[in-house]
Amino acid sequence: MNAEGIMLAVGAVIQDVAGNVLLVRHKPEREGYWKGKWICPGGKLHAGETLAEGALREIREETHLDVKLGRMLPPFETIVREQQECLLHVVYVDFLATPTAGELLADDDIGEAEWWSPEEVEKRWEELHFDTRRLLLLAGLLQPDSPDHPVSSTSAGD
């Protein structure tokens, strides 16, 4: 795979004043790497956008919310391989964020958007996408590799 095949994804870990985190899930008929799992709002950076502009656009498109971006989280990448072939290479650049305006409404492409309490994150751990677990760890919302909820995985396509 060449550099043109690398996706740069931007988004945010959005928390409200009560400490709830906003998660979205694509419609069941949408195929792909994130199918069926809860993820943080975000998507592909467009040419000519800054990282912040892309994150704000994606959040607004997916949730109809305006947010204030905080600090940028450390970037990370996921490479999904099948035998020797690279099926997906995505680099994530996400921010911490807080909602400032709008009413939460999932976009047609998303299907579902929910605020999850810290307790709900614990209870519904298996519904989170592997990359979302990594992102919540980087945001300081999860403890690294607790026995009940390991963040590391042997399967890149978890």
How many C-beta neighbours within 10 Å does residue 45 have?
Answer: 21
pTM of the model: 0.85
Q: What pLDDT is recorded for position 157?
A: 42
Work out the angle at residue 17's Cα, subtended by the Cα atoms of residues 50 and 64, and round it to the nearest 5 degrees.
50
Tokens at residue 31, please?
Answer: 């195929």
Question: What span, in angstroms and rounded, lies between the C-alpha atoms of 148 and 126?
Answer: 11
Q: What pLDDT is recorded for position 142?
A: 78
66: left (phi over 0), alpha (psi -120 to 50) or beta: beta
Q: Residue 105 in contact with residue 62, Cβ under 8 Å?
A: no
Within the chain, residue ranges assigned H as helices are: 51-63, 118-123, 130-138
Mean pLDDT by 10 residues, the chain (158 residues): 74 97 85 80 97 98 97 94 88 98 90 94 90 93 63 41
Q: Residue 121 in contact with residue 127, Cβ under 8 Å?
A: no
Q: What pLDDT is recorded for position 1?
A: 41
- Going by C-alpha positions, the residue among 151, 53, 38, 148 that lies closest to residue 93 is 53
Q: What pLDDT is recorded for position 148?
A: 54
Q: What pLDDT is recorded for position 27?
A: 76
| Fold of the CATH domain 3-138 | Nucleoside Triphosphate Pyrophosphohydrolase (3.90.79)
Q: What pLDDT is recorded for position 77?
A: 94
Q: Residue 104 in contact with residue 22, Cβ under 8 Å?
A: yes
Placement of tokens 């399967």 in the chain: 155
CA 43 to chain centre: 8
How many C-beta neighbours within 10 Å does residue 114 have?
Answer: 15
Q: What pLDDT is recorded for position 31?
A: 66
Q: Residue 52 in contact with residue 144, Cβ under 8 Å?
A: no
Q: What pLDDT is recorded for position 146?
A: 59
CA 47 to chain centre: 20
